[in-house]
Amino acid sequence: MMEIKNPENPKDYLSTRQSARQLQVSLGTVQKMVETGELLAWKTRGGHRRILCSSLEKLLKRRRMGIRERSSEQFLVLAVLKQPEQVDNFQRFSEAWRSAPEIFICTDTLEALMQAVSLSPDIIYIDPKLPPVEQVHLLHYLNKHVHTKNIPVLVEAEFIKKNPQVQKMPSNKGKDAKNEKNPNIPRKMINNPMIKAYKHQNLLLEDGSINQVYADKIEQIIFDCLAKKYEGA
């Protein structure tokens, strides 16, 4: 970890929790950023980390420019949630994953689309509680945009069952001269391999603890998506 001794002004620093809130990532992710030198920090006499504000601002600027610095083993998950109140629950849930990915959270579908284009995440997770109409529109634009159409998207299985059209996309195979000359001839439709179904469970159990079994299942789906995405890369 990069440490700074004798900070000039305490106002130039943020706590780990404040930094996590601004970056919309988990506390574990911030700690890892400090350890790898991506964020500059120092420790108080009590052993608490303080993040240099200018370092945090530079990271946010890189994100806005669509530039991310990650280790080869780390991946980015963009989670699209229904309500801001769910952010803490999802961050706690993701901390149960062994892979310790970087998490970026959106509670607005328009922002989610812009961040998907800007950040180019490895996986997009869509909360099943998001209104169906918003899910349909988001999936439509993700599939249509050149920078997002190859990103695996985790979608709740029951939603796909009720809205099978979101999984359909025109096939690039079998195009012939007739189709090229007459665009009115419908092209063959196939299932979009980038849309992955998952069966929804509560992130937390009744006693407030993390649903570890469910966390393991979601993480395994993510691993499967990443393996297929980078197969032959």
| CB burial of residue 180 (10 Å; 0-12, 13-18, 19+) | exposed
pLDDT band at 1 (very low <50, low <70, confident <90, very high): very low
Q: Which residue has the higher pLDDT, 25 or 71?
A: 25
96's tokens: 């149960």
Q: Which residue has the higher pLDDT, 56 or 201?
A: 201
Average pLDDT over residues 190-212: 94
**Which of 57-66, 97-106, 153-162 is least confident?**
57-66
CB 226 within 8 A of CB 150: no
Amino acid at residue number 121: P
CB 31 within 8 A of CB 23: no
For the stretch 132-189, pLDDT in tens is 999 999 999 998 888 898 999 999 999 999 999 998 877 765 554 455 556 666 667 7
pLDDT at residue 76 greater than cutoff 70: yes
- Residue 68's pLDDT is what? 47
Average pLDDT over residues 98-121: 88
CB 159 within 8 A of CB 132: yes
183's tokens: 């665009």
Phi, psi of 44 (to 5 degrees): -75, 175
| Global confidence as pTM | 0.66
- Residues 6 or more apart whose CB falls under 8 angstroms from that of 126 comprise 80, 135, 138, 139, 153, 154, 155, 156
Instruction: Report percent pLDDT > 90 for the chain.
Output: 39
By residue count, the chain amounts to 233
Q: Which residue has the higher pLDDT, 146 or 214?
A: 214
Q: Of all helices (H) and strands (E), which one includes residue 125? A: strand 123-126
- Residue 203's pLDDT is what? 95
**Which of 68-72, 134-138, 213-217 is least confident?**
68-72
